[in-house]
Amino acid sequence: MIELTQRGNLDDPDRFYDTLMAVHDGLSKAESDALNARLILILANHIGDEEVLNAALHLAAQTGKAAT
């Protein structure tokens, strides 16, 4: 089983978050959702490892369930 990095791994996570929010500024919900989908597909293509991507999908689904 793949173990994904869950500890902080960005040099400046606040700056990345600010940039992420800025690219969504002024978008409708549909446009924002489409941007997120494109970003996910770009990053998935960059990662390129289906086992890693499947592990990330399962982790994201579990994390989402725990938050509700």
Question: Does the predicted TM-score (pTM) go above 0.85?
Answer: no
The residue that leads in pLDDT, 49 or 67, is 49
- Cα separations in angstroms, 5 against 30, 35, 40, 54, 55: 30, 24, 17, 14, 11
Distance CA 19, CA 45 (A): 21
Per-residue pLDDT tens digits for 6-18? 999 999 999 999 9
Domain coordinates of the chain in residue numbers?
A: 28-67
Residue 63: predicted pLDDT: 78
Per-residue pLDDT tens digits for 19-48? 999 999 999 999 999 999 999 999 999 999
